[in-house]
């Protein structure tokens, strides 16, 4: 078990809470809460040690591209970078839209 | 997705070690002459071999190795393991959950075929201890035909009554979704496919294309 934290600047605040993903092998859950400020404060807890650089790269790419800001908690159970990216996109979608997911295309 | 020798994702494959010995880390769980791996989802190989995931005792001890058809000695599917008891286990909750599932009314599982995977599947297939005190029970349900979210919710509700945390995937031909995620809402779900994960609202529709 390893925990680390990153901060990324951004300009697209989360407007509502989001919870995506599942607690399961090779998966992860992402929790987003709106917060003041112009950065994303990301806290990761992972069951698999030794992938700091991979996490940094995946998160940097995501937050640079989408600029999401807020308080973000990630609980990882050995997900691949591809799964992490999709969960982050789901979290972005949920946390920056005020409609319910089914009301959108 | 099936390799030429008939192995599918999650199947346990025993293969001859000398063929791959120089590629195996020392921590890989093995017998003298053979080792066991699990067929990976990305295992499409034209030559009929298989890409396998191998495990050691620690969660971080995982390695991928490719084996050819001639290296393969035995293939066991998860659903072939359901009548085998877990003996001498360090995780009595998981053993009891397996025992309940082995004689369960099939309707509790939506009439779907099930099988243990992960550490429990590995231990049942190989006899090599892999389950830990903290292990969840990983399992699959074969869901070639669509399962409604309502049925998924009922199955999930039943699994929550077992004396062990259960991590269940719906295997739907060309991919898999987490039962809990399919049951949970009405938005997109993550479909794991051989070429990587994708988001979809209807995994079965995508499979039929």
**Is the predicted pLDDT of residue B50 greater than 50, yes or no?**
yes
Q: Is the pLDDT of residue B185 over 80?
A: no
What's the CA gap between A36 and B35, in Å, rounded?
54
Taking an 8 Å cut-off on Cβ atoms, the answer to whether A24 and B186 are in contact is no
Q: Which residues of B touch A80 (CB under 8 A)?
A: 197
Q: Which residues of A touch B138 (CB under 8 A)?
A: 25
User: Which among B190, B192, B196 is the top mutation candidate for probing chain A, defined by the most A β-carbons within 10 Å of its own β-carbon?
Assistant: B190
Establish if A47 touches chain B: CB-CB under 8 angstroms.
yes
What would the DSSP string read from start to end of A56-70?
Answer: HHHHHHHHHHH-EEE
Q: SS3 of B121, please? A: helix
DSSP for B137-178 reads: EEEEEE-SS---HHHHHHHHHHHTTSSS-EEEEEE-SS-EEE
Indicate if the pLDDT at residue B152 is higher than 80: yes
Put simply, the answer to whether A25 touches B199 (Cβ < 8 Å) is: no
> Residue A44 corresponds to which tokens in the numbers above?
């990761």
Mutate to test the interface with A, among B10, B152, B178 (most CBs of A within 10 A): B178
B186 CB neighbours in chain A (<8 A) are 101-102
Mean pLDDT of B171-193: 91
Domains of chain A by residue range: 2-97
Rg (CA), chain A: 13
Task: Tell me what ipTM this predicted complex has.
Answer: 0.82
Query: Highest-confidence range of A8-17, A42-51, B1-10, B128-137, by mean pLDDT?
Result: A8-17
Residues 59-78 of A with CB under 8 A from B: 78
**Cβ within 8 Å of residue A48, ≥6 positions away:** A2, A76, A78, B59, B60
| Pairwise pLDDT comparison (B204 vs B23), residue with the higher score | B204
pLDDT, tens only, A20-36: 999 988 899 999 999 99
Amino acid B149: pLDDT:
96
CB pairs under 8 A between A and B: 48
To which residue do tokens 């971080």 refer?
B60
Catalytic machinery residues of B: 136, 138
Q: CB distance A24–B167 less than 8 Å? A: yes
pLDDT of residue B44: 58
The minimum CA-CA distance between B187 and chain A, rounded to whole Å, is 6
Better-scored residue on pLDDT, B173 or B60: B173
Find tokens 């509502």 and name the residue.
Answer: A16
């Amino acid at each position: 078990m390893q925990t680390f934290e990153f901060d990324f600047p951004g300009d697209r605040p989360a407007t509502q809470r989001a919870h995506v993903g599942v607690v399961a092998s090779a998966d992860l859950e992402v929790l987003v809460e709106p917060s003041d400020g112009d950065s994303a404060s990301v806290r990761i807890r992972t069951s698999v040690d030794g992938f700091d650089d991979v996490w940094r790269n995946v998160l940097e790419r995501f937050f640079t591209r989408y600029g999401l800001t807020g308080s973000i908690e990630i609980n990882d159970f050995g997900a691949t970078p591809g799964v992490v990216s999709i969960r982050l996109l789901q979290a972005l979608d949920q946390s920056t839209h005020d409609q319910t997911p089914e009301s959108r295309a | 997705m099936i390799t030429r020798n008939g192995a599918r994702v999650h199947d346990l494959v025993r293969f001859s070690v000398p063929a791959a010995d120089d590629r195996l880390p020392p921590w890989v769980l093995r017998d003298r002459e053979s080792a066991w791996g699990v067929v990976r989802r990305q295992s499409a190989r034209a030559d009929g071999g298989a890409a396998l995931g191998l495990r050691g005792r620690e969660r971080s001890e995982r390695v991928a190795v490719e084996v050819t058809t001639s290296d393969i000695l035995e293939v066991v599917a998860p659903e072939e393991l359901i009548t085998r008891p877990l003996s001498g286990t360090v995780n009595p909750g998981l053993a009891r959950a397996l025992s309940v599932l082995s004689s369960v009314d099939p309707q509790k599982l939506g009439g779907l075929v099930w099988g243990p995977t992960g550490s429990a599947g590995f231990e049942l297939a190989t006899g090599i201890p892999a389950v830990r005190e903290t292990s969840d029970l990983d399992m699959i349900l074969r869901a070639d035909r669509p399962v409604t979210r309502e049925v998924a919710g009922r199955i999930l509700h039943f699994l929550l009554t077992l004396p062990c945390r259960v991590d269940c995937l719906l295997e739907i031909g060309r991919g898999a979704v987490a039962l809990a995620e399919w049951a949970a809402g009405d938005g997109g779900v993550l479909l794991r496919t051989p070429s990587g994960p994708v988001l979809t609202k209807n995994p079965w529709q995508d499979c039929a294309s």
